Amino acid sequence: MQTWWQAQAELDAERTWFWFLDAERRRAVKKKKEVERSARARVRELERRRERLLSDAKASLGLWSAAGVDEGRQLFWRSFEAGKGLCVSVFAFLFQVPRLVAAYQANFINGALFFMMCAIASVSVVATFLVGLYAAGATAVYAAATLIAPNRRLGPGGAPPPGLRYHVD
């Protein structure tokens, strides 16, 4: 990783203003690009190897293990906190679940069941949150209406408005 960062820094240092107009600079940049590409390829190879080893370790644990379920839970809350819209965060979470299932190398049945469980859980959390918001808003409107209704007939200062006559038989 350090080699790639160093190659990237050297490439950036070589790209000065109007470097592409100077033939010598173009050759130097081309040479630095090749070094950077090979270093980047090595980093990607190491990252793929790391991901394979991590996936093998997760597969030995299993998708339904405490670690698998906890990783799914953390994935949901990260999506929920990062989402600007509640429904959008659910969809973003559900698009990330197959990658989680693949990381644990689960078979089709377990993967489908885990996905359905995640879908039901995420939709129920968002629905509960929205119902709670609706209930709070409805309660506030009801409370305001019950406080305002008895005082609707009264004018300023608590007196009846002028011209209001009560019907007397």
Reported as a single tens digit per residue, the pLDDT across 21-54 is 888 888 988 999 999 999 999 999 999 999 999 9
pTM, rounded to two decimals:
0.67
Cα distance between residue 52 and residue 75, in whole Å = 20
Cα distance between residue 69 and residue 81, in whole Å = 18
Reference 31, options 42, 51, 15, 44; nearest CA is 15
Cα distance between residue 155 and residue 159, in whole Å = 5
Cα distance between residue 38 and residue 125, in whole Å = 47
- The pLDDT score that the predictor gives to residue 120 is 97
Higher pLDDT, 68 or 158: 68
Cα distance between residue 107 and residue 30, in whole Å = 46
Cα distance between residue 73 and residue 64, in whole Å = 12
- pLDDT surpasses 60 at 155: no
- The pLDDT score that the predictor gives to residue 69 is 94
Per-residue pLDDT band for 164 (boundaries 50, 70, 90) equals low
| End-to-end alpha carbon distance in the chain | 96
Burial of 64 (0-12, 13-18, 19+ CB in 10 A): middle
